[in-house]
């Protein structure tokens, strides 16, 4: 790779051992990708340290200092080096438990102590403790054209598509190295040519609510995998929440990191702008039959209508979604055998606390939880067998990960299941 003088200096150790290790790692990574240079970034989100349970166990025998985990794992270095404060704007994504509701989530006091020790290390190194998969709902909102280094596929697809930022789905090692250096390889979605559409999807049924946007996203991801879809047709202007559920679903059934909707997303003022000089490699349609297939797939592991757990908030719920749940629940109680957990970021929860939504949901018997979710934190109420979900992404992952049955429907269907204990929704 061609290095600038500043990059060469970091590689020569001018910024200390950790930055040298980070540059070595990024150069190996960039060369493997075929990148010729780096771009500068001042917006990095990742999971530096040991916020996930498995790392805690993996390196417990090597010492759980922040430096040890960061060196061995994030920097892929056998030598434990001193880790300075991060050089650029850096944020921590989701973690493995709610530090207040950890008992309800079945976590141990020992695991909590480790989690909080890691968090202290994160803060001490100048990393913002957002603890969410939706950093764009918690204060980290890039601008159009901004080069970012982000993990978390649902956040990346939102940043690229809805905002027009330039982001590849990164990993722990590349984001941690980018936090130290402010560099990330210049390839893929950082480059103009990497952002042009490849597949055209003609939408031929109305797509209006979050539920339908989730199903459309699931179809598109499965159909185009890691390519770049461009949508036209019967789509009304989606809200932030609809984009959030569409992109998360598309990044689950496939590996979509960028989509465009002609006339609606910032890089697709026209069909020609979305594809550039390219012709689509495939033209696909999304009609009634395709929608029904997606619905059946997402409900394929649901057979028992007795629901014992309802999970909302994948990706982490916005305050609008929490308001919707609180409105649906106001004055009602959950069914005696059914639990309701809503996952969100700490900052959104603080608004829910202040506005009274947390109390309404708690009075009904449900919880608003932060930091994690059932799939990421491997956490559900004890003895859960049947789950109701309003997220296509969570419906894709949770049954396989936790061995449960799952129903997928609207938020209203899910809250009805929470109050009656029964799944009573039908296909669109
Ligand atoms: Fe977030 Fe968990 Fe979904 S971390 S995107 S809520 S799988």
Average pLDDT of the segment spanning 140-153: 98
Is there an atom of ligand 1 within 6 Å of 154 CB? yes
Which residue of 135, 169, 252, 375 sits with most ligand 1 atoms within 8 Å of its CB, as the best mutation to test the pocket? Answer: 375
Span from the CA of 251 to the centroid of ligand 1 (angstroms)? 12
pLDDT band with cut points at 50, 70 and 90 for residue 61: low
Span from the CA of 150 to the centroid of ligand 1 (angstroms)? 15
Closest C-alpha to 367, from 386, 335, 339, 328: 339
- If phi > 0 it is left, if psi is from -120 to 50 it is alpha, else beta; for residue 248 that is alpha
pTM of this structure: 0.98
Average pLDDT of the segment spanning 389-408: 98
| 3-27 residue pLDDT tens | 999 999 999 999 999 999 999 999 9
Question: 247, 217 in Cβ contact below 8 A?
Answer: yes
Question: 165, 145 in Cβ contact below 8 A?
Answer: yes
| 400-423 residue pLDDT tens | 999 999 999 999 999 999 999 999
N-to-C CA span, the chain: 52
How many percent of the chain have pLDDT more than 70?
98
Q: Compute the distance between CA of residue 319 and CA of residue 340 in angstroms, rounded to an integer.
A: 17
pLDDT band with cut points at 50, 70 and 90 for residue 226: very high
Q: Is the pLDDT of residue 324 over 80?
A: yes
Residue nearest to atom 2 of ligand 1 (CA): 373
Span from the CA of 327 to the centroid of ligand 1 (angstroms)? 23
Residue nearest to atom 1 of ligand 1 (CA): 315
Which residue of 97, 98, 133 sits with most ligand 1 atoms within 8 Å of its CB, as the best mutation to test the pocket? Answer: 133
Is there an atom of ligand 1 within 6 Å of 115 CB? no
> Omega into 315 within 30° of 0, i.e. cis?
yes
Span from the CA of 315 to the centroid of ligand 1 (angstroms)? 5
pLDDT score for 234:
83
Helix (H, G, I), strand (E, B) or coil at 195: helix
Is there an atom of ligand 1 within 6 Å of 370 CB? no
pLDDT band with cut points at 50, 70 and 90 for residue 374: very high
Question: 154, 45 in Cβ contact below 8 A?
Answer: no
- What is the residue-wise DSSP string for 203-267? EEEEE-SHHHHHHHHHHHHHHHTTS-EEEEEEE----HHHHHHHHHHHHHHS-----EETTTSTT
Q: Compute the distance between CA of residue 265 and CA of residue 133 in angstroms, rounded to an integer.
A: 21
Which residue of 343, 402, 406 sits with most ligand 1 atoms within 8 Å of its CB, as the best mutation to test the pocket? Answer: 343
| 155-185 residue pLDDT tens | 999 999 999 999 999 999 999 999 999 999 9
pLDDT score for 52:
72
Average pLDDT of the segment spanning 76-105: 97
Domains in the chain: ranges and CATH: 5-192 (3.30.499), 196-297 (no CATH), 301-420 (3.30.499.10)
| 135-145 residue pLDDT tens | 999 999 999 99
pLDDT score for 212:
97
């Amino acid at each position: 790779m061609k290095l600038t003088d500043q990059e060469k200096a970091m590689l020569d150790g001018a910024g200390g051992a950790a930055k040298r290790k980070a540059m070595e790692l990024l150069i190996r990574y960039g060369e493997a990708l075929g990148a010729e240079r780096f771009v500068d970034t001042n917006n990095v989100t990742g999971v530096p340290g040991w916020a996930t349970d498995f790392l805690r166990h993996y390196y417990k025998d090597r010492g759980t200092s922040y430096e040890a985990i960061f060196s061995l794992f994030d920097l892929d270095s056998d030598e434990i080096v001193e880790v300075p404060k991060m050089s650029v704007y850096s944020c921590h994504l989701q973690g493995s438990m709610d530090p207040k509701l950890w008992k309800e989530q079945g976590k141990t006091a020992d695991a909590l102590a480790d989690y909080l020790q890691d968090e202290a290390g994160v803060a001490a190194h100048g990393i913002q403790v957002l603890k969410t998969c939706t950093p764009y709902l918690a204060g980290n909102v890039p601008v159009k054209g901004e080069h970012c280094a982000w993990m978390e596929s649902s956040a990346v697809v939102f940043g690229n598509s809805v905002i027009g930022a330039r982001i590849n789905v990164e990993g722990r090692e590349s984001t941690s190295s980018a936090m130290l250096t402010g560099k990330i390889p210049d390839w893929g979605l950082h480059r103009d040519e990497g952002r042009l559409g490849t597949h055209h999807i003609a939408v031929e049924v109305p797509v209006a609510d979050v539920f339908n946007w989730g199903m459309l996203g699931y179809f598109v991801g499965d159909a185009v995998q890691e390519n770049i879809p461009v949508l036209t047709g019967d789509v009304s202007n989606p809200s932030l929440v609809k984009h959030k559920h569409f992109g998360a679903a598309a990044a689950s059934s496939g590996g979509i990191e960028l989509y465009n909707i002609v006339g609606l997303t910032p890089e697709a003022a026209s069909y020609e702008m979305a594809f550039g000089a390219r012709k689509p490699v495939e033209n696909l349609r999304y009609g009634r039959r395709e929608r029904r297939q997606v619905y059946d797939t997402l409900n394929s592991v649901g057979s028992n209508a007795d629901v014992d757990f309802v999970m909302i908030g994948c990706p982490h719920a916005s305050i609008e979604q929490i308001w919707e749940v609180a409105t649906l629940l106001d004055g009602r109680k959950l069914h005696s055998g059914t639990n309701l957990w809503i996952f969100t970021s700490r900052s959104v929860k603080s608004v829910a606390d202040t506005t009274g939504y947390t109390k309404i949901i708690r009075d009904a018997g449900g919880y608003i939880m932060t930091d994690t979710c059932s799939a990421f934190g491997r956490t559900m109420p004890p003895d859960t067998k049947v789950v109701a979900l309003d997220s296509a992404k969570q419906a894709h992952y949770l049954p396989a990960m936790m061995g449960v049955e799952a129903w997928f429907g609207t938020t209203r269907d899910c809250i009805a299941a929470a109050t009656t204990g029964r799944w009573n929704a039908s296909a669109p």
